[in-house]
Chain A
Amino acid sequence: DQQVKQNSPSLSVQEGRISILNCDYTNSMFDYFLWYKKYPAEGPTFLISISSIKDKNEDGRFTVFLNKSAKHLSLHIVPSQPGDSAVYFCAADLTGNQFYFGTGTSLTVIP
């Protein structure tokens, strides 16, 4: 069973506009959430994270929002740049040693 879901396999956004990537989860015990970015033929790289005690975390152009009641988090990228084109994975941490990943959303930023 998929405990972390990314229902949009792909997203296209014009350069300069906002990209919003969504993630839903089923386990209310998850206490930490992360976003990873993956380029082809490379391993995922950490992008941004949020603790379950917060509802927002911002780092430059990247902001993650957490809605615990809806079991939903989102990653906002603004302004989007062509170099942001990659696959984005949402991940949730249960015990500090077991991470559950979504299936990824492929973002294309059109110049």
Chain B
Amino acid sequence: QLQLHESGPGVVRPSETLSLTCSVSGGSTISNNYYWGWLRQPPGKGLEWIGTIFYGGSTDYNPSLQSRVAISLDSSKNQFSLNLTSVTAADTAVYYCARLEYSHLLFDHWGQGTPVTVSA
């Protein structure tokens, strides 16, 4: 059974870089049928897509975050990562990694989420 697990610091200082890793088990990140993505949910608010990556390396980012976001994938470790630079309090959220199924463009498996607070 596919499982995703986010890891990274729970607190990041303003202006610094938020770095998270998603470890995938029970399946491979090397697939023609799936992308791998990051989403977030600020406290008490809805879901926001951050970006996705294909194992071949192609990426797609939310235009509102594009200048600050980078997603990478390490297929040898079966992991993918998120870097978000120059964070502010507005980046405080629960961050989820998820698998994007390509035929219906939906997120079919999610990590449990990791809370990140931007605070000095």
A binds B: no
